[in-house]
């Protein structure tokens, strides 16, 4: 004859075990969802690849459309003819040309040529246009990146040609002066309120390489 379990087992212990089993199942499901979400997030981060023509600067990925371009030939020729080989003149003329292009935000990234054709660009688009002109006129410059801003710093050998109230980065013994293209009233060397702590990446346009921030000195007059 089959032995019957005491009522206390059937009506107290079993229900308690059932509740614990349900709780354990829910906990397992929750943990699985968390792992799944984490996995999904990881997959999203993996599949969000940099756009074409992107560069990695520090921890940032940035669109990059700077290269020699025949469509800038007329602008470059006029700039050179106006300055007769004078370094400071070429830098200032290029900066003035780009800084007076209206600041216009866009959801899509415009190339430097687009900025000229459409007469508008945001900070990184205008900075890249200036970098392209400086590249084609053989002037060294760097792109400086913060979390939400991009600007140019350009090398000028003769400091007497720059406003004495200036801000620049000392990179490998050379002075690279702030050139904020979103301010039509700016000048080469004018401080744009970006302090050194905010800088997250520095990219040398001519040499196509990252500059370690720890090797750079910030000079603010």
Q: What is the pLDDT of residue 18?
A: 44
Q: What is the pLDDT of residue 75?
A: 86
Does residue 200 have a pLDDT over 80? Answer: yes
SS3 120: coil
Dist CA 76 CA 91 (whole Å): 11
Q: What is the pLDDT of residue 49?
A: 60
Compute the mean pLDDT over every residue in the chain, rounded to the nearest whole number.
Answer: 81
CA dist list (Å): 15 to 5, 8, 10, 32, 110: 14, 11, 8, 26, 66
Q: Residues 123-152: pLDDT tens digits?
A: 999 999 999 999 999 999 999 999 999 999
Q: Residues 142-182: pLDDT tens digits?
A: 999 999 999 999 999 888 889 999 999 999 999 999 999 99
Q: Residues 64-110: pLDDT tens digits?
A: 988 767 778 888 888 889 998 899 999 999 999 999 999 999 888 89
Ranking 45-54, 57-66, 151-160 by mean pLDDT, the lowest is 45-54
Q: What is the pLDDT of residue 17?
A: 44
Confidence of residue 202 (pLDDT cuts 50, 70, 90): very high
Is the CB of residue 171 less than 8 Å from the CB of residue 211?
yes
CA dist list (Å): 11 to 5, 33, 139, 164: 10, 33, 87, 90
Ranking 40-49, 60-69, 106-115, 189-198 by mean pLDDT, the lowest is 40-49
What topology does CATH give the domain 54-220? C8orf32 fold (3.10.620)
Q: What is the pLDDT of residue 130?
A: 97
Confidence of residue 47 (pLDDT cuts 50, 70, 90): very low
Does residue 26 have a pLDDT over 50? Answer: no
Higher pLDDT, 51 or 114: 114
Does residue 8 have a pLDDT over 50? Answer: no
Confidence of residue 218 (pLDDT cuts 50, 70, 90): very high
Q: What is the pLDDT of residue 221?
A: 83
> 73-83 and 123-136 helices cross at what angle (nearest 10)?
60
Strand residue runs (E) in the chain: 54-57, 60-63, 141-145, 150-155, 167-171, 174-179, 201-204, 209-210, 216-220
Q: What is the pLDDT of residue 51?
A: 65
Q: What is the pLDDT of residue 23?
A: 42
Domains of the chain by residue range: 1-48, 54-220
Q: Taking the mean position of all CA atoms in its chain, how far away is CA 28?
A: 41
Dist CA 6 CA 194 (whole Å): 78
């Amino acid at each position: 004859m089959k032995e019957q379990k005491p009522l206390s087992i059937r009506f107290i212990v079993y229900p308690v075990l059932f509740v614990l089993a349900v709780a354990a199942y829910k906990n397992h499901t929750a943990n699985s969802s968390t792992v799944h979400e984490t996995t999904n997030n990881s997959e999203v981060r993996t599949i969000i690849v940099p756009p074409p023509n992107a560069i990695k600067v520090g921890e940032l990925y940035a669109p990059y459309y700077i290269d020699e371009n025949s469509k800038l030939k007329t602008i470059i020729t006029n700039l050179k003819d106006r300055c007769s080989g004078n370094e400071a003149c070429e830098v200032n003329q290029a900066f003035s040309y780009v800084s007076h292009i209206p600041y216009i935000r866009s959801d899509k990234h415009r190339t430097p040529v687009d900025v000229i054709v459409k007469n508008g660009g945001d900070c990184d688009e205008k900075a890249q246009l200036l970098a392209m002109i400086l590249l084609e006129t053989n002037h060294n410059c760097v792109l400086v990146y913060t979390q939400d801003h991009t600007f140019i710093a350009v090398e000028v050998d003769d400091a007497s040609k720059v406003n004495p109230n200036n801000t620049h980065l000392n990179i490998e013994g050379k002075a690279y002066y702030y050139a904020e293209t979103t301010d039509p009233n700016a000048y080469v060397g004018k401080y744009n309120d970006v302090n050194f702590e905010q800088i997250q990446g520095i990219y040398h346009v001519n040499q196509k390489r990252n500059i370690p921030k720890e090797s750079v000195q910030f000079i603010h007059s």
